A and B are shown apart, each in its own frame.
Chain A
């Protein structure tokens, strides 16, 4: 199993909604990442978890709240988002921090 699985594939939410993005991998990787990608732009790092602990937060607004319940799961909790937060949200994992990253297929988020 070499997959990073993200759900849902698509999400539409209002600015007052609370939603969560989920990511799962069963490759035994101990580093997991959230990236944000706007159309025709490269992915931008948001958070890095290493051994279930948050190691990097790239000054992301608090309306995005990551959670790593165990070594296989990574969540991104969303609350009071803005329309400019609409983007493709990508989860990735690597064996450890500094190793090559494998990406999921992403969640396309639209904030209305």
Chain B
């Protein structure tokens, strides 16, 4: 089945530093989504990307949909302690029996040192 390779697996950074994480796939996706999840809670949608090459910002977060439609990255600028959590990329499939299936990366665990 389809898999997303998300890296890095974990990051431990100093408050104020910028963060970058990415996802790659052997399959083409029509939509890329980025979520943040806190322990014991559900994933919260951060950014949704719909077009190849699209660059979208949400506050200190910026994400891009790769030109090949097989990759995406998320940047967090000037990190703060509340950025701590697990970040998941997710690619959405279309077509026949696949429409509705969201494939998740393995997650990037972010820790921020004050």
Contact = CB atoms under 8 A, between A and B. Distances in A.
Interface stretch (B52-60, B63-71, B73-81, B96-104): B96-104
A76 to B, nearest CB: 15
Given A55-B100, A98-B94, A42 B107 contact: yes
Contacts of B31: 98, 100
A27 to B, nearest CB: 13
B105 A42 contact: yes
B106 interface: yes
Q: By DSSP majority rule, is chain A's interface helix, strand, loop, or mixed?
A: strand
B42 A104 contact: yes
Contacts of B45: 100-103
A23 to B, nearest CB: 11
Interface residues of A, number: 26
B65 to A, nearest CB: 13
B21 interface: no
B102 A105 contact: no
A55 B99 CA distance: 9
Interface of A: 4, 6, 31, 33, 40-43, 45, 48, 50, 55-56, 88, 90, 92, 97-98, 100-106, 108
Nearest first, the 9 closest Cβ-Cβ pairs linking A and B are A42-B104, A103-B42, A97-B100, A48-B100, A100-B48, A105-B42, A106-B42, A103-B43, A105-B41
Given A43-B104, A48-B100, A104-B42, 5 more contacts: A42-B88, A50-B100, A92-B42, A98-B99, A100-B31
